[in-house]
A and B are shown apart, each in its own frame.
Chain A
Amino acid sequence: MEWRTEFTRDQENQIEEALMTVKDPEIDSISVIELGMIELIKGCHNQVSIYVLPTFMGCPALDIIKSNILKAVSSLSWLEQAAVFFIYDPPWTSDRVTEEGRERLKEFGIAPPPEKIDETGEWHVACPYCESIYTTMDNLFGPTACRSILYCKACKNPFEAMKPVSTLM
């Protein structure tokens, strides 16, 4: 997340705090910052522009996220104008999810995206409940565009995992 503003450190902190309250509408434990969706924040005086990277293109949550960001920053009384732009460069990739974010996903019962993908394209997912890697893929596609459905053979729980996406694909 890059800042290109004339704001004071305190003002930037306030914006960041406001953005931390904006959660993924479909995974309400994780914020847009933790998901790595906020690329750039520009601003001066009483205006701010927030540049956001969409995760999956067909994600119906994008419009909701946009309006929730606007709502959150408009709670700051010193800001008079706010705008949100979706940009594609750089592309959002699953390695942008922060360490904190990975923990928040697990809290929700979703395994974070694998950090490493083998050259063969294989990836391993640990169960978000018991950490076992004795898991099987039930469906590469899940209830939302960004998730797959898996099953843990150790604790016998079905769970979801965030799909890895990278520019190598």
Chain B
Amino acid sequence: MTEQLSDKSKQALINLLYQLADDDFILAFRGSEWLGLAPHIEEDVAYSSINQDTMGHAAMFYKLLEDLGEGDVDELSHARKSTLRKNAVMLELANGPGHYLKEPNYDWAFTVVRNYYYSQAKKVKIDSLKQSSYKPLADAAVKVSMELYYHLLHWTVWFKQLIQAGGEAKEKMINAIKKAEADFGDVLSLGPLAEDIVQSGFIESETVLTQAFHKRMDPVFQGLSIPYSGRFQQINGKGRYGEHTEELVQALDTINEVYKINPKAVW
């Protein structure tokens, strides 16, 4: 199948796969930092299960990259420096002040908003990827879709209930929405090779995806009687272009700690 791809198309496909893989990889890691810290025990079970699924999706996308000759999956996920990462900046930001081992003053509202926005965007992309011209990616999208269904159910409940609760919960959610939207432009970006990615039929254009995203979000906000801005920025950098924060560097240092001890170890 890959031999049918022109060099230009193949580069575009590889770029898109890095975005998909790195997005899921870093968000699953940020989620794993909540283990034992989630608001209640049932949430701990649910969130860790979601993170496990999400890491599984990352592994599948890295495997597609391995099949295209990009290298070994463990190396792709662990050994690449922050400047080579293509994930959206919103997904790499720390969960809040502190460290998971010491005074983790993590922000649950931001976590809910980040995961809800991301799951909605992922749903839009996965639906588009089901029609991808690259069959292995379309097959993968069908698999992801079945698990994403449950993630979206979960984050929708949290998102709506915390806003409907009013008071401090609502206030924190509104602030978290502002924080997420300030970097959310990155999530819907297809990066420097966007044109080639779309022309090769791997996924629909940013404009189409963004419109589909608004169409999903607008009624939710209306139902909650809060304004939906629909305007997203990239204030902390453009992740698809390799621009990242110090928070990603720190996250990768933590993730890679064990891997670096013995890169040849079998996982």
**Residues of A129-147 whose CB lies within 8 A of B:** 138-145
**A139-B139 in contact (CB<8A):** no
Query: B196 on the interface (CB 8 Å rule)?
Result: no
Query: B57 on the interface (CB 8 Å rule)?
Result: yes
Give me the interface of A with B, judged by CB distance under 8 Å: 54, 56-60, 87-89, 91, 93, 138-145, 149, 163, 165-167, 169
CB-CB under 8 A from A149, the residues of chain B are 45
B interface residues, tally (CB under 8 Å): 28
Q: Which of B46-54, B68-76, B100-108, B165-173 has 4 or more CB atoms under 8 Å from chain A?
A: B46-54
* Cα distance A151–B53 in the bound complex, in angstroms: 24
Set A57, A58, A142, A169: member contacting B45, Cβ < 8 A: A142
Taking A57-B59, A58-B57, A145-B52 as contacts, is the C-beta distance between A165 and B42 under 8 angstroms?
Answer: no
**Residues of B129-180 whose CB lies within 8 A of A:** 135-136, 139-140, 142-147, 149-150, 153-154
**B52-A58 in contact (CB<8A):** yes
* Cα distance A54–B154 in the bound complex, in angstroms: 23
Set B47, B139, B150: member contacting A91, Cβ < 8 A: B139
Q: Closest CB of chain B to A166's CB: distance in Å?
A: 7
**A57-B60 in contact (CB<8A):** yes
**A141-B50 in contact (CB<8A):** yes
> At the interface, is chain B mostly helix, strand, loop or mixed?
helix
Query: B55 on the interface (CB 8 Å rule)?
Result: yes
Set A88, A141, A169: member contacting B154, Cβ < 8 A: A141
Query: B56 on the interface (CB 8 Å rule)?
Result: yes
Q: A57-B57, A169-B145 are in contact. List 20 more A-B contacts (CB 8 A).
A: A54-B143, A57-B56, A57-B59, A57-B147, A58-B53, A58-B55, A88-B142, A91-B139, A139-B46, A140-B150, A140-B153, A140-B154, A141-B45, A141-B49, A141-B50, A141-B154, A142-B45, A145-B49, A163-B150, A169-B146
